[in-house]
Amino acid sequence: MTIIPSLILKQLYTNGSLENTSSGYRFGLKNRLSDCKIIEIKAIIIDGTLINDEAVLVDLEEGGKLGINDITAANPIEFPLKRKMNVLVSGEPLEEGKYKIEIKFEVKPFGKLTLKVEDSITSGDEDIIRIPRDETDDYSDEAIKKRQGFVEAFTGVKMEHTASYSFDPHLTQGNIEHFSGVAQIPLGLAGPILINGEHAQGEFLIPMATSEGTLVASYNRGIKVMNLSGGATVTVVGDAMQRAPVFVFENARKCREFVAWVNDNMDEIRDHAEATSSIAKLLYIDPYLSNKFVYLRFNYSTGDAAGQNMVGRATFAACSWILDHYSDGITNFYLESNFATDKKASQINVMRTRGKRVIAECTVKRDVLIQHMRVEPEKLNYHSNIATLGAFFCGANNNGAHSPNAITAMFIATGQDVANVAESSAGIFYSELTPEGDLYLSLTIPSLIVATFGGGTALPTQQECLRILGCDGKNKVNKLAEIVAAVALAGEISLGSAISSSDWVSSHEKYGRNR
């Protein structure tokens, strides 16, 4: 018999489903865990009051309604994954406010379970203006046209360009809600770029989605110089995705004791975390203690996925087991403490890695740099040292020129979560003169969060860009990381040279929209 941790069990309840009806009130359940059979509902308790069995019906929608006394081992409710049911309670409606709901039931194969949740009865909101939505199929042409008509009626703006798209809107289910059209962003190609990676080897065309004039031209210029010098060597040196819960205790000593317990029970914690996914692997947990708080930074490998949602589920399962088995003084718990620094730049990511830690290197030949960039290696290196001091002085998370430009343009093109640019923007740039008078350049991106599976990577135009890069399919995420880092380094060559040789403004005047 498998014991389900209490936090996991709560996922059966549909939050926000508690509402009054003409004959009483109701709430909803949905199986989000595993196929099972309900063989008995022993009790339903609302705010400490046991509800009379005769007042309760279970509405199975397509399966009709059953009294809870009709549910037995001989007449169970088949409750497969994703099935919904409503619990109907007849009697007086509930007043507005928050209620504690407790359900005691027996399920095959999990045995006797107790579900405890809280939900609220809210006041009517009939007068709120709502964007049209179709509960049956919100991605149908009819639902989309209703929303487009709503936009025109509400704003006076006809959706002419944004309403034009070339794919089935149903493909966006799980990626966006209230789908109404598309935002078309210009797509340019840079390259081919020569990369000597462990996963990316050869020449690659680079799709870049941007509206910034000169950006693609600038990367093309840097790629040319890089190619003439033998290309970029790229190495993925680290890989970890985090979720960071916080546990609250009465005092610091209990915090210390808890961390020791976690270390002693790592095998069990790892088993519960990894049971939620065939891909996520718990690598290690970093504990950080402050005041009366324990921040546990769970570190995972996540395959081809970026993995934020994956590690959230895994850590939720692990912490559910912890909360059920550690009883010495936990006074509060939150699944995320801000210590994972989702969508935020942070020093811990620079030091400890988030996503992929990638290093791109190249040695630009002296003659190539002078002939094509009109700048000597000594001048570019000198400027780089001054710029590093400037970055340090102002507290920037990147001492390079503009690596987030390449990262953002490639993220948009390939369906990455663009908000991850906040973390991926960190960069450590280094240059030195070689004994031959050439210029060695290196860019470390310590928290590059990329994926070739999941999220927006499967959408039609984004998948097409991944195919252009040769990064569609399994086991391609490190290849994509190496390509992104190489392109980012090419941009450092181009912009650094433009600033050092005073070509920067004139290039924008020629190719951009300054005039």
Considering the candidates 59, 102, 106, 212, report the single residue annotated as catalytic.
212
Q: Can 508 be counted among the known catalytic residues? A: yes
- Determine the residue type at 368: V
Tell me the C-alpha distance between 393 and 382, whole Å. Answer: 17
Torsion on CA atoms 428, 434, 439, 443, rounded to nearest 10: -20
- Report the sign of the C-alpha dihedral through residues 7, 9, 13, 14, in that order: positive
DSSP 8-class letter at 226: H
**Beta strand segments in 213-259, E:** 232-243, 246-248
Taking a C-beta distance cutoff of 8 angstroms, is the pair 331, 403 a contact? no
Residue 307 burial by CB count (10 A; 0-12/13-18/19+): exposed, middle or buried?
Answer: buried
Q: Among all chains, which residue has been given the structure tokens 């930074």?
A: 297
- Identify the CA nearest to 55 among candidates 7, 93, 99, 83: 93
Q: Can 417 be counted among the known catalytic residues? A: yes
Give the number of other CB atoms < 10 A from CB of residue 401: 24
Q: Among all chains, which residue has been given the structure tokens 């990262």?
A: 407
CA separation, residue 475 to residues 157, 305, 407, 515 (Å): 44, 10, 20, 45
Q: Is 82 helix (H, G, I), strand (E, B) or coil?
A: coil
Considering the candidates 257, 274, 324, 508, report the single residue annotated as catalytic.
508
- Identify the CA nearest to 145 among candidates 173, 174, 172, 169: 169
Q: Which residues contact 389 (CB under 8 A, 6 or more apart)?
A: none
Residue 500 exposure: Cα atoms within 13 Å on the Cβ side: 24
Copy the structure tokens of residue 303: 């395959």
Considering the candidates 342, 417, 423, 482, report the single residue annotated as catalytic.
417
Q: Can 212 be counted among the known catalytic residues? A: yes
Taking a C-beta distance cutoff of 8 angstroms, is the pair 139, 159 a contact? no
Tell me the C-alpha distance between 317 and 4, whole Å. Answer: 9
Tell me the C-alpha distance between 398 and 395, whole Å. Answer: 9
Give the number of other CB atoms < 10 A from CB of residue 379: 17
Q: Is 514 helix (H, G, I), strand (E, B) or coil?
A: coil
Q: What is the DSSP string of 87-125?
A: EEEESSPPPSEEEEEEEEEEEETTEEEEEEEEEEE----
Residue 376 burial by CB count (10 A; 0-12/13-18/19+): exposed, middle or buried?
Answer: middle
Q: Among all chains, which residue has been given the structure tokens 């970055």?
A: 391
Give catalytic residues, as residue numbers. 212, 417, 508
